[in-house]
Amino acid sequence: MTPSFDLSGRTALVTGANTGLGQAIALGLAAAGADIVAVGRSAPTETAEKVSALGRALHAIPADLSTTAPLADVVAKARDAVGDIDILVNNAGIIRRADSLDFSEEDWDAVIDTNLKTAFFLSQAVARTWVGAGRGGKILNICSMLSFQGGIRVPSYTASKSGLAGLTRLLACEWASKGINVNGIAPGYFATNNTEALRADEGRNRDILARIPAGRWGAPSDLAGAAVFLASDASAYVHGTILTVDGGWMAR
């Protein structure tokens, strides 16, 4: 049987799709045929225009994902607007930097709540609709190289992304028998607004590139293929994996 990467007729709910990696993932899924529900605090105006240019539809739902309060409403609004959700991408995330000796409880809670707690409870809310309807679905969690490594000065981010990788495996174990695939993508160093300062620092940029076997920063579009694979029927027997898209960084 020829593996199918076609997402025609499917709808993907993507959090944090307004810019950067989330936008690239949404566009990749749209190019494969999926319609998009974009959830986040900022209006995904540019993403909507690009999705439309691909011949697909985007429905935006404003929500502050730093708390679980809006999640039930988000899922209900999405289903009212577009029908069933077929794919969930937990991409929204934040980072706070400080030495661990000085790191505040406020910054700890803010990152854990957004990156880990919201991802779990949104996954739960969507999965409940699938189980209730007797159908399966696809969940993609956007992890990090710090799902595997320690990093420095980002204790809550490292904890959240390590936790998200563990949560990916746990949910895969619980939900695979229900027809739900739960997997993760761990991006490496990508050229986005978040890494502009690193790329502008000649020394840091040189050191980072020296560690990447591919010899370049990732382009956001480099994530599209991995996202389409894990969202499509081609990955029907893939459960609980964390796919690194890092130019070989983790293999070094």
Known catalytic residues are 157
Extract the tokens encoding 22.
Answer: 């989330």
Max intra-chain CA distance, the chain: 56
Buried b (16+ CB within 10 A) or exposed e, 210-240: eebeeeebbebebbbebbbbbbbeebeebbb
Residues 6+ positions from 239 with CB-CB distance below 8 Å = 172, 173, 176, 181, 182, 183
Q: Is 57 exposed, middle or buried (0-12, 13-18, 19+ CB in 10 A)?
A: middle
C-alpha distances (whole Å) from 243 to each of 72, 77, 143, 159, 185 are 29, 31, 9, 19, 5
Eight-state DSSP code of residue 116: I
Q: How far apart are the first and last CA of the chain?
A: 35
Chain position carrying tokens 């991006």? 187
Number of CB atoms found within 10 A of residue 55's CB: 9
Rounded to whole angstroms, the Cα distance separating 49 from 90 reads 22
Four-point Cα dihedral 120, 75, 113, 218, nearest 10: 80
